[in-house]
Amino acid sequence: MSPSPKARSIGGFVLSAAGVAGVVLQMLSVHYPDGDPAKAREVARLLRQLARRVDVSLDDVEEVASRVWRPPSHGAGIDAFRKYFTDEIAPYPPMVSAYVRGLADAIDDYAEMLERTQHALRTMAMIQWTELLMFFCWPSIDKKVQVLIEWAIRKKQARLLLRMFEHAVGRRFIFAVGGSLAYTALDQVIVDGFKLARGEDTGSWGDRGKYMLNNFAAALVFYHVDPDNFRWVRKYLPGGLKTAKLLPENKAARNAVVFLTGSSIFTTTSNVINRPGDVVHDPFSLLPTWQQMLAKLGVAAGQDQFRRWRGYYPAATP
């Protein structure tokens, strides 16, 4: 007995989620810092134990050496030995123990840094994976945002917005602003939620505000990558291209192409906002990386399976 279309869609959704999880791990895979904080702290503990033994050994050696110059021992040789021991030998063990303790402190600091960095990388992985899952479900979120906007506009009888709403361009713009605001808010909830839950610093309000403005601007650009917004371009194309089909007829393929194009422009826009100097010095670095493109492909597949799961595509007719 073959599984139902809904079961296959759920399975595809889960496989896509697992795939993007692998991509996230690849994106965050780093060779530094490497190591085990617990083992590093054990090394620091052994070094401090060694330093204590050096201190004790000096006391033992001083006790033995002092017997040489105790009365009735005397003479030039005894005085020379006492001076040599006091000036040359006795200062050395404290220097060794101090150096070993400093080394132990440095290893403890490294273990602390290692632990914080590994913890931060795990938090980043959780945030990024959850963000990608949010994108999987975005068709449903977007529909709810649009319904809420329509209800709010008609409820409040906002004349300007109602007039804009009557025109296709204005309607798409309002939906773009609403969707961008929803994405910005939800993404910030995810980021702050994970950081607070894991004891991470959420940053200053200024930094968070800048991050949210960046997301909002990039999302607004993403929403405007809509084929309906570019119909006017056709009249400037050569004759044969005016009627050419630039997007696939298949709805799933069309959705994937639009999403991948918009998402790539979203990433590029965000990079331009964060690193405006690279527009001149290194423009290719502003494009999505190959890992990011793999994640986008995974999200496109996940969105397709989510739409099939939720019945967003029309049922096939026999």
The pLDDT score that the predictor gives to residue 241 is: 53
The pLDDT score that the predictor gives to residue 11 is: 77
Is residue 179 included in any domain, yes or no? no
SS3 call for 55:
helix
For residue 80, the enclosing domain spans 31-122
Instruction: Give CA–CA dist 264/270, Å, rounded.
Output: 10
The pLDDT score that the predictor gives to residue 318 is: 36
Is residue 90 included in any domain, yes or no? yes
Is residue 68 included in any domain, yes or no? yes
Is residue 180 included in any domain, yes or no? no
Instruction: Give CA–CA dist 101/95, Å, rounded.
Output: 10
Is residue 132 included in any domain, yes or no? no
- CB-hemisphere CA count at 13 Å for 147? 6
281-309 pLDDT, tens per residue? Answer: 898 999 998 888 888 888 888 888 888 88
Instruction: State the CATH number of the domain containing residue 44.
Output: 1.10.287.1060
H or E element: which one contains 216? Answer: helix 205-223
Q: How many domains does the chain have?
A: 1
Closest CA to 182 of 145, 147, 217: 145
Task: Read off the DSSP letter of residue 36.
Answer: -
**Residues of the chain whose pLDDT is less than 50?**
31-32, 315-318
Is residue 255 included in any domain, yes or no? no
The pLDDT score that the predictor gives to residue 80 is: 79
Is residue 100 included in any domain, yes or no? yes
The pLDDT score that the predictor gives to residue 87 is: 77
SS3 call for 34:
coil
The pLDDT score that the predictor gives to residue 162 is: 61
The pLDDT score that the predictor gives to residue 315 is: 47
251-278 pLDDT, tens per residue? Answer: 888 888 888 888 898 999 999 998 989 9
Instruction: Give CA–CA dist 140/161, Å, rounded.
Output: 24
